[in-house]
C-alpha cells in the first residue's frame, strides 16, 4: 500500500507546498500545525533530539488527517500516515485509560450494546463520555451529542426499525451481482434510514444486497488515534466477515477509506496484509457502484430542487472520488445542480479534531456555510456522517434554510 519511504518524515524536502492546501495552516498560519513542521518534529523525536512531551503530543493533534497535502507533495510523502504512526509511537509508550481500552475492545464485537448505552446516556442532561479525550466513532457520536452538535431528531428511533439483512431487485430485473453493504457505526445505529436508503437504491439498480451479521466498527478513528492493536482486531473481523462477497459497498466516506486502506494497517509479511488488499479490490463506494451501473435515480420528492455537493475529505482525498456523486446528482431529472466554490474544502470536523480544536473547526465551517449560501442551493448533499452532522450544525448556526442530506436519500426515491 505505502510506497517505500512514503512514511519516512526525513524524506520531507521542506518545499512547503503542503502549506498551500492545509486547511489548518491556512487558518492559523502556525508552522507547527502543518505537515512540513510536524515532519520535522516527528523526525527529531525519532532521532531522540526532542522529547515526547506534552507540546509534542499536542502538535500531533493538529492534523485533520484530510490527506489533502498528499496531492501537492513533490516527495510523494503521506504526511497523515506519518502523523498516525507518530501517534502510535506515543500510544505504545503510554497506557490508555482502562475505560478507553474497554470501550474500544467492546466495539470490536459488541457494538449494539455500546450504541444503546450511548443512546441512553445521550438523553441524560450533562452526560459526557468525552472528557477531553473523546473515544472514537460510536463514541464520537456521543462526543457529538455533548459537543454542541446534536444528532438529528429521530436518530434514536432508528433502533425501532431494523435494517433489512437481505434485499433483492424487483421481479423481472436482471440481477447484476451479489453485494454486501457495510453501513458503519453511524448509519447502522444512529442514522439507519441512510442504510435503508442505500439498500433500496442498490436493489433498484439490480443488485442483490446483503447486510452481513457480525461486522465490527471499521476502526478508522481507532487507527487514526494510533491504537493499532485494537484497529487491527476490528479490521481482521471485518475482513473475515466480508470474505465471501464479490463486492462490498460503503456509503460512509470514512468506512470506505478504512476498507480500502486496511492493507496499510498490517505489516507486509502478515497474512492479513494480502487478505486486506483483496478486500480493498472488492470495496467500492455507493456512488461509484451506482454510477458504473448506469443507475437512473428516481424523480425526487420533498426536497429543494437546487442541489450542491460537499466533498468529504475521506471521499475526495482518501478515495479520490469526486466525479461519481456529481454525475449521479446531475442525472436526476428536475434537479438543478450548482457547484459551490471550494466544494472540496474540509467542513472542519475531521473526526474529533473539530471538537478538540473547536475554533479552527468553526472557522472552516463558517467558510463552508458562506460557500453554500453563495451557491444558492436549497439542498446540500454529501457522503459522510461526520460532514452531515457538521453541515447541519453549521446551517443552524448560520440560520441557513438548507436541507443537508446523504446522497442515498436522492437515490432511493420518496420515503416508502
Partner 1 sequence: MNRFKSIIAGLSEIVGPSGVLTESTDLVAYSYDGTSNWHATPDVVVLPTTTEQVAAVMQLAYDQEIPVTVRGAGTNLSGGSIPVEGGIVLCMTRMDRILDIDAANFTATVEVGVVLNKFNQALARQNLFFPPDPQSFLAATIGGCAAENSGGPYAVKYGIFKHYLLGMQIVLPGGRILNLGGKTVKNVTGYDLTLLLCGSEGTLAVITSVTLRLLPRPETRQTILAIFDEVTTAGGAVHRIRQSGLIPAKIEMIDNWIIRRIEEMSPLGLPRAAEAILLFELDGNSAAVENESREVIRLCREADAVDVRPAKDAEEAENFWAARRAGFSAIWGNSPTVLAEDVTVPTDRMAELISTIQTISRRHDVPVVMIGHAGDGNLHPCILTDKKNAEHFHRAEQVASEIFSTALALGGVISGEHGIGLEKKKFLKLAMEPGAIELLKSIKQVFDPKGLLNPGKIWEAGP
Q: Which residues bind partner 1 (CB under 8 A)?
A: 5, 10-11, 13-17, 19-20, 29-32, 37, 40-41, 44, 50-51, 53, 55-56, 58-59, 72, 74-76
**Which CB, 10 or 175, lies closer to partner 1?**
10
Contacts of 217 (CB under 8 A, 6+ apart): 107, 108, 111, 137, 138, 184, 185, 234
Q: Which is nearer to partner 1, 60 or 410 (CB)?
A: 60
Q: Which is nearer to partner 1, 30 or 120 (CB)?
A: 30
Sequence-ordered list of residues with C-beta below 8 angstroms from that of 355, at least 6 positions apart, any chain: 130, 134, 143, 144, 147, 361
- Comparison of 51 and 162: residue with beta carbon closer to partner 1: 51
| Least distance between partner 1 and beta carbon 281 (Å) | 23
Residue 169 CB, nearest distance to partner 1 (Å)?
40
Shortest Å distance, C-beta 365 to partner 1:
19
Separation between Cα atoms, residue 82 and residue 107, nearest integer Å? 26
Q: How far is the CB of 15 from partner 1 (least distance, A)?
A: 6
Least CB distance to partner 1 at residue 34 (A):
8
Residue number with CB closer to partner 1 (265 or 317): 317
Q: In what order do the strands lie in the sheet with 207-210?
A: 166-167, 207-210, 177-182, 247-250, 283-285
**Closer by beta carbon to partner 1, 94 or else 269:** 94
Please state the separation of Cα 219 from the chain's center in Å: 11
Beta strand pairing call for 283-285 and 247-250: parallel
The CB-of-320 to partner 1 minimum distance in angstroms stands at 16
Q: Which is nearer to partner 1, 188 or 344 (CB)?
A: 344
| Residue whose CB is less far from partner 1, 25 or 295 | 25
Angstrom distance (rounded) from CA 41 to CA 350: 22
**In the bound complex, what is the minimum distance in angstroms from residue 285's beta carbon to partner 1?**
26
CB of 308 to partner 1, least distance (A): 21
- Of 335, 338, 329, 336, the residue nearest 411 (C-alpha): 329
Burial of 55 (0-12, 13-18, 19+ CB in 10 A): exposed
| Measured distance CA(350)–CA(313) in Å, rounded | 8
The partner residues of 382 in beta bridges, in order of sequence, read 406
Q: Distance between alpha carbon 404 and the CA centroid of its chain, in Å? A: 16
Q: Which residue has the cell 524524506?
A: 11
Instruction: Write down the least CB distance from residue 33 to partner 1, Å.
Output: 8
Q: Which three cell numbers stand for residue 296?
A: 437512473
Minimum gap (Å) between residue 23 Cβ and partner 1: 15
Nearer to partner 1, 25 or 266 (CB): 25
Choice between 59 and 257, CB closer to partner 1: 59
C-alpha distances in Å from residue 91, one per residue of 6, 86, 224, 266 = 22, 9, 11, 17
How many angstroms separate the CA atoms of 167 and 204, rounded?
10
User: 166-167 and 207-210 as β-strands: parallel, antiparallel, unpaired?
Assistant: antiparallel
Neighbours of 198 (CB within 10 A): 30
Amino acid at each position: 500500500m505505502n510506497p517505500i519511504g512514503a512514511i519516512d518524515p526525513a524524506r520531507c524536502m521542506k518545499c512547503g507546498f503542503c502549506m498551500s492546501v492545509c486547511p489548518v495552516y491556512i487558518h492559523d498560519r502556525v508552522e507547527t500545525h502543518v505537515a512540513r513542521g510536524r515532519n520535522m518534529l516527528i523526525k527529531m523525536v525519532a532521532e531522540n533530539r526532542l522529547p515526547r512531551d506534552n507540546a509534542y503530543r499536542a502538535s500531533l493533534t493538529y492534523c485533520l488527517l484530510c490527506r489533502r497535502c498528499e496531492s501537492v507533495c513533490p516527495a510523494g510523502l503521506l504526511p497523515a500516515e506519518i502523523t498516525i504512526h507518530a501517534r502510535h509511537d506515543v500510544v505504545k509508550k503510554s497506557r490508555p485509560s482502562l475505560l478507553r481500552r474497554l470501550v474500544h475492545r467492546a466495539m470490536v464485537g459488541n457494538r449494539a450494546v455500546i450504541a444503546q448505552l450511548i443512546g441512553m446516556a445521550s438523553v441524560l442532561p450533562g452526560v459526557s463520555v468525552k472528557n477531553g479525550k473523546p473515544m472514537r466513532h460510536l463514541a464520537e457520536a456521543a462526543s457529538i451529542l455533548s459537543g454542541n452538535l446534536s444528532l438529528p431528531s429521530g436518530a434514536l428511533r432508528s433502533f425501532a426499525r431494523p435494517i433489512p439483512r437481505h434485499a433483492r431487485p424487483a421481479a423481472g430485473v436482471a440481477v447484476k451481482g451479489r453485494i454486501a453493504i457495510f453501513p458503519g457505526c453511524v448509519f447502522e445505529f444512529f442514522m439507519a434510514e441512510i442504510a435503508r436508503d442505500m439498500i433500496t437504491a442498490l436493489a433498484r439498480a439490480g443488485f442483490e444486497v446483503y447486510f452481513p451479521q457480525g461486522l465490527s466498527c471499521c476502526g478508522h478513528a481507532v487507527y487514526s488515534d494510533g491504537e493499532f492493536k485494537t484497529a487491527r482486531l476490528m479490521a481482521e473481523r471485518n475482513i473475515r466477515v466480508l470474505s465471501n462477497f464479490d463486492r462490498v459497498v460503503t456509503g460512509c466516506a470514512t468506512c470506505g477509506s478504512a476498507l480500502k486502506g486496511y492493507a496499510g494497517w498490517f505489516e507486509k509479511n502478515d497474512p492479513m496484509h494480502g487478505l486486506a488488499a483483496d478486500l480493498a479490490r472488492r470495496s467500492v463506494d455507493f456512488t461509484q457502484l451506482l454510477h458504473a451501473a448506469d443507475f437512473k435515480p428516481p424523480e425526487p420528492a420533498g426536497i429543494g430542487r437546487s442541489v450542491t455537493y460537499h466533498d468529504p475529505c475521506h471521499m475526495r482525498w482518501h478515495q479520490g472520488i469526486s466525479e461519481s456523486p456529481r454525475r449521479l446528482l446531475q442525472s436526476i431529472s428536475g434537479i438543478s445542480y450548482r457547484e459551490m466554490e471550494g466544494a472540496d474544502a474540509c467542513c472542519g470536523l475531521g473526526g474529533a479534531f473539530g471538537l478538540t480544536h473547536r475554533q479552527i473547526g468553526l472557522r472552516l465551517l463558517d467558510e463552508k456555510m458562506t460557500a453554500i449560501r453563495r451557491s444558492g442551493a436549497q439542498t446540500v448533499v454529501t457522503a459522510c456522517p461526520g460532514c452531515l452532522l457538521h453541515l447541519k450544525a453549521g446551517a443552524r448556526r448560520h440560520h441557513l434554510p438548507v436541507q443537508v442530506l446523504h446522497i442515498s436519500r436522492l437515490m432511493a426515491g420518496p420515503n416508502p
